[in-house]
């Protein structure tokens, strides 16, 4: 197999654009200037609002959609330029799972998992053993001869995952695979995806509109807004130092750190005249996340610190905390510089009286 120059990238988007022709005249821009490296063997999450272009982006990876400009390569092969048999060959190396599962209602669990192999022309005997293995792998051996209508959503998605793995793909695409599931089932399905990624070294590209999904299993992520990638990189970095307002708004939902309403309502961005308090967001990083730094600061500076909200979480194995505090406005700069000398990130959110 041909290696891509950019080592480690399983999927490469190079200045990709997509416009859809519209009825009558004109066209809709769905994606523009997309450049992204999806690292091999990792789980990469793509997050964005409805209509941001996530599905369009993903569907170009297996050629369900053709780019109008730019180039997409999967394992070094140009998907946009591939047609017919060559394209079908690439598709067999890219498994896909769907929000609504898309299982054949006329086939049992085992037969559904067998379908991609039948399509690829795998010998019959081989299909049976491999399908059984896969059904067992996703924990459904007892339900192998049931029809999809007799399964729960979580079980259906497991079948979807087993089916996607049937042709031993190198890449797995997941378009909102947990959006139709309850939180608990979502967790078990995400765990299965993470296990498969670890055991098979599969590259996983997943779309979601839930930051929690990205936090739980993706080591890398990209934020897409209005057809453009506004931020991409390691999940930890983006969670701890989000740059773009869209990323921040997604994060505010998941980090669980929001200002109490009575404070948020009276907060202003400009420092008012007279006595006021400065509201600061502190992002605790790495090992320091659990240090009793605030108490130390309060003692060292003789400062009265109000803790407004806070939480500590983990991204992968690394903890990070988010704390919202307020200090007297005239001593804000002092407090921030103290925290920053202790390797914490700070951000002024506003002022309250």
For residues 57 and 176, give the distance between their C-alpha atoms in angstroms, rounded to a whole number.
13
Give CA angle at 48 (161, 221), nearest 5°: 65
Q: Tokens for 46?
A: 């793509």
Pairing of strands 203-208, 220-225: unpaired
Residues numbered 48 to 77 that lie near Mg ion (CB under 5 A) are: 55
CB of 246 to ligand ATP, least distance (A): 12
Q: Tokens for 177?
A: 């695979």
CB of 128 to ligand ATP, least distance (A): 36
Binding partner selected for residue 51 from Mg ion, ligand ATP, another protein, none, CB under the kind-specific 5 to 8 Å limit: ligand ATP
Binding partner selected for residue 52 from another protein, Mg ion, ligand ATP, none, CB under the kind-specific 5 to 8 Å limit: ligand ATP
For residues 175 and 172, give the distance between their C-alpha atoms in angstroms, rounded to a whole number.
10
Closest chain position to Mg ion (CB): 55
Place of tokens 């130092």: 241
Q: Tokens for 84?
A: 């017919």
Q: Tokens for 75?
A: 């394992």
- Write the binding mask 50 to 69 for another protein: x where contact by CB under 8 A, - elsewhere: ------------x-x-----
Q: Does residue 96 bind another protein (CB under 8 A)? A: yes
Q: Tokens for 185?
A: 């089932």
Binding partner selected for residue 8 from Mg ion, another protein, ligand ATP, none, CB under the kind-specific 5 to 8 Å limit: none
Figure out which of the listed residues 102, 243, 266, 337 binds another protein, where binding follows CB under 8 A: 102
Figure out which of the listed residues 20, 83, 119, 290 binds another protein, where binding follows CB under 8 A: 119
The region, left, alpha or beta by phi > 0 then psi within -120 to 50, assigned to residue 27 is beta
Q: Does residue 15 bind another protein (CB under 8 A)? A: no
CB of 45 to ligand ATP, least distance (A): 13
CB of 207 to another protein, least distance (A): 14
Q: Does residue 167 bind another protein (CB under 8 A)? A: yes
- Going by C-alpha positions, the residue among 137, 95, 87, 99 that lies closest to residue 115 is 95
Figure out which of the listed residues 66, 71, 77, 107 binds another protein, where binding follows CB under 8 A: 107
Closer by beta carbon to another protein, 48 or else 148 = 148
Q: Which residues in 157-181 are b (16+ Cβ under 10 Å) and which e? A: bbbbbbbbbbbebbbbbbbbbbebb
Residues that bind another protein (CB under 8 A): 62, 64, 87-92, 94, 96, 98, 100, 102, 104-107, 115-116, 118-120, 147-150, 167, 173
């Amino acid at each position: 197999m041909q290696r891509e120059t950019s080592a480690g990238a399983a999927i490469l988007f190079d200045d990709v654009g997509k416009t859809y022709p519209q009825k009558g005249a004109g066209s809709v821009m769905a994606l523009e200037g997309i450049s992204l490296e999806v690292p091999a063997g990792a789980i990469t999450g793509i997050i964005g609002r409805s209509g941001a272009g996530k599905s369009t982006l993903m569907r170009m990876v297996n050629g369900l959609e053709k780019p109008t400009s730019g180039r997409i390569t999967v394992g070094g092969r140009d998907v946009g330029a591939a047609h017919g048999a060559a394209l079908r060959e690439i598709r067999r190396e890219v498994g896909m799972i769907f929000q609504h599962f898309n299982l054949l209602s006329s086939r049992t669990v085992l037969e559904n998992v067998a379908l991609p192999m039948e399509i690829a022309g795998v010998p019959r005997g081989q299909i049976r053993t491999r399908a059984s293995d896969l059904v067992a792998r996703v924990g459904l051996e007892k339900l192998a001869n049931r029809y999809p209508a007799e399964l729960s959503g979580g079980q259906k998605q497991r079948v979807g995952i087993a089916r996607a793995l049937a042709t031993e793909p190198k890449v797995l695409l997941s378009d909102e695979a947990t959006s139709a599931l309850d939180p608990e089932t979502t967790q078990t399905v995400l765990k299965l995806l993470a296990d498969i990624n670890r055991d098979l070294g599969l590259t996983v590209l997943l779309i979601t509109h839930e930051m929690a999904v990205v936090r739980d299993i993706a080591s890398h992520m990209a934020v897409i807004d209005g057809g453009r990638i506004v931020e991409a990189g390691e999940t930890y970095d983006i969670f701890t130092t989000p740059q773009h307002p869209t990323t921040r708004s997604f994060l505010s939902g998941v980090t669980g750190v929001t200002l109490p309403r009575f404070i948020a309502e009276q907060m202003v961005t400009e420092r008012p005249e007279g006595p006021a308090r400065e509201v600061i967001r502190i992002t605790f990083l790495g090992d320091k996340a659990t240090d009793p730094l605030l108490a130390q600061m309060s003692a060292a500076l003789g400062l009265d610190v109000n803790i407004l909200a806070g939480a500590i979480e983990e991204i992968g194995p690394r903890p990070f905390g988010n704390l919202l505090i307020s200090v007297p406005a005239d001593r804000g700069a002092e407090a921030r510089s103290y925290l920053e000398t202790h390797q914490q990130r700070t951000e002024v959110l506003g002022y309250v009286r």
